[in-house]
Chains A and B, each alone.
Chain A
Amino acid sequence: MHVLLVDDEKEFVNTLAERLSFRGFKVDYAIRALDALALAEKNVYDLAVLDMKMPGTNGLELKGLLEKIQKDMKFIFLTGHGSEADYVAGSSESACYLVKPVKIDALIAKMLEAVKP
């Protein structure tokens, strides 16, 4: 599975990328929406894991832009919201999101579920 990680916290995204690589995933990461779009122009991704709140372009906006480049890409959102209940109440994207800090096994389970045909 080829995965694109996007989060403005570089120390978070590069370490998560490394850990997913250990587990056999092919991973690229970006800390800015523009860089993520450039990667999506060059590579085909099965899935993108996007931070909800990023400077400039937020996760939902980036999802829309990435879908214009690769319509079959699947998405998972990460958020720093305080509680799962808060987020479920406030978001229509609750089917595919995880709250930081994320357990890697839970993330991988969501990733596999998201790309299931």
Chain B
Amino acid sequence: MKSGEMHVQYDAIGGAGLQFFGKVSASIAHELKNVLAIINENAGLLEDLSYAAQRGSAIDPERLNRACLQFTKQIQRADGIMKNMSRFAHSVDVFDAQVALHELVCLVANLAGRLAAMRKLTIEVTPAAIPIAFSGNPFLLQNLIWLCLEFAFGATSAGSTLLLALAKNETGITLRISGIDSLENNFPSRMPAGYEDLLAALGAKLSVDKDTKELILDLP
């Protein structure tokens, strides 16, 4: 790996990359805490039932079964969170890779899912008609899509669905984020800090279509 070249790319985006990494890590930590809390309560419940049984109370097998099912369910949930975390963490390992764009967009949508839920928003990703590959720095692109979603979260009413759709055209690749309520001409002033450096680093362009309520990210 040409680490010097990689550092130049990350230096170009300043603190934005570190902030992005921190936000995603904090969100994952919070979600894992919830998983642990559910496992903790169900383990405690089994202790309570065992204690009661030792004193002669009957145990409802159905209640035991439900507690055990929660362990399985929460372990699967944690496994999914950790898989996403691992993919995200390893995205900084390469700076010039060819990646499947649908998978990359789905990963960012999953990572942002909890923040969307906090705002009572849903994110959906529509698969492209054909597989689309992106060549470049996957971490920077994830960071840019995350900032676009942050902007969309702030400009969309609770209860809405944000739809992410990819398409390939003659000049490159387009990612459209639709369902945004409030798109104004001055949208750049409302974008989170750091997005311009990411656009420059990726050679990308960001625009809006007020009629279709879409934020449009054009990638080379």
Contact = CB atoms under 8 A, between A and B. Distances in A.
B72 to A, nearest CB: 12
A11 B41 CA distance: 9
A102 interface: yes
A53 B30 contact: yes
Interface in A55-89: 55-56, 78, 80-82
A102 B120 contact: no
Interface stretch (A16-24, A42-50, A109-117): A16-24
A56 B30 CA distance: 17
Chain B residues touching A, majority SS: helix
B11 interface: no
A5 to B, nearest CB: 11
Nearest to A99: B33
Interface of B: 26, 29-31, 33-34, 36-42, 44-45, 48, 52, 67, 70, 73-74, 117-120, 158
A12 interface: yes
A18 B52 CA distance: 14
B45 to A, nearest CB: 5
Given A9-B34, A80-B33, A81-B30, A101 B40 contact: yes
A15 B38 contact: yes
Nearest to B36: A101
Interface residues of A, number: 21
A102 B37 CA distance: 7
Interface of A: 9, 11-12, 15-16, 18-19, 22, 53-56, 78, 80-82, 99-102, 104
A12 B37 contact: yes
A100 B118 contact: no
A81 B117 CA distance: 17
Contacts, number: 67
A18 B41 CA distance: 10
A56 B48 CA distance: 34
Nearest to A22: B48
Given A9-B38, A82-B26, A53 B45 contact: no
A9 B37 contact: yes
A114 B85 CA distance: 38
29 contacts: A9-B34, A11-B41, A11-B70, A12-B34, A12-B37, A15-B38, A15-B44, A18-B45, A22-B52, A54-B118, A55-B119, A56-B120, A80-B29, A80-B30, A80-B31, A80-B37, A81-B30, A81-B33, A82-B26, A82-B30, A82-B33, A100-B40, A101-B33, A101-B37, A101-B39, A101-B40, A101-B41, A102-B40, A104-B44
Q: Which of B26, B30, B74 has the most CB of A within 10 A?
A: B30
Contacts of B45: 15, 18-19
Nearest to B51: A22
Contacts of A22: 48, 52
A9 B42 CA distance: 13
Contact of B36 (A16, A54, A78, A100): A100
A54 B117 CA distance: 9
A108 B74 CA distance: 25
Contacts of B29: 80, 82
